Structure 1
Amino acid sequence: MKNDETKNEIIIYTGGNGQSSIEVRMQGETVWLTQKQLAELFDTTKQNISQHIINILKEGELQTDSVVKNILTTADDGKKYQTDHYNLDMIISLGYRINSRIAMSISMQ
């Protein structure tokens, strides 16, 4: 998908344990998360998320142009960076592939 610098709604998701939380970017009718946020959400490594995303796209389960959006974000250092974000379809697909207690609880909701 093309670059997008529009204003978005940010929602804070708190896990069932009440301890973990993550900022979720809402745009339109879907959410958008970075690989880092996905790793936090599923309590796994960014490398694990990356490998699953590669496999999901390579196997044709999802199409890149419909689930990946490059969004201009501002980092803690004040600089702007182009960062890939993944939508709810990718989040659900990852939930089915990642073997973790958190992934199972997200898939069941």
Structure 2
Amino acid sequence: MSDCLFCRIVNREIPSTPVYETDKVYAFLDIEPEAPVHVLIVPKQHISSHNALTEDNVDVMKDIHLAVNEIVKKLGISDSGYRLINNCGPDSGQTVFHLHYHLVGGKSLGTKIL
């Protein structure tokens, strides 16, 4: 998808600060962090949102969740805690329509979800 921001980042057309990468997943620092640790985790394959997961592409979810485990260890927040957030659709706040997760942590996030 040539007009997709995250596809362009994955394809190195737009610079990013990488945190983790495999053949299926790319993770990079958010340019407007909401916490001391704020990483975006995306599948390299364009999938517009969680609603677009199918039998043909759902295996990437395993890769994303395994990536989270590696990233939190690398960034030293596996024991202190973190949030993994997926916004799905415009009313949730999804602004880039490429499946992605926000991994946030590095400080106390409290118990309130929103």
For Structure 1 versus Structure 2, the TM-score category normalised by the shorter chain is under 0.3
The structure with more helix, counted as a fraction of residues: 1
- With the length of structure 1 as denominator, give the TM-score of the two structures: 0.27
Q: Is the strand fraction higher in 1 or 2?
A: 1
TM-score under structure 2 length normalisation: 0.26
Higher relative contact order structure (alpha carbons within 8 Å, sequence separation ≥ 6):
2
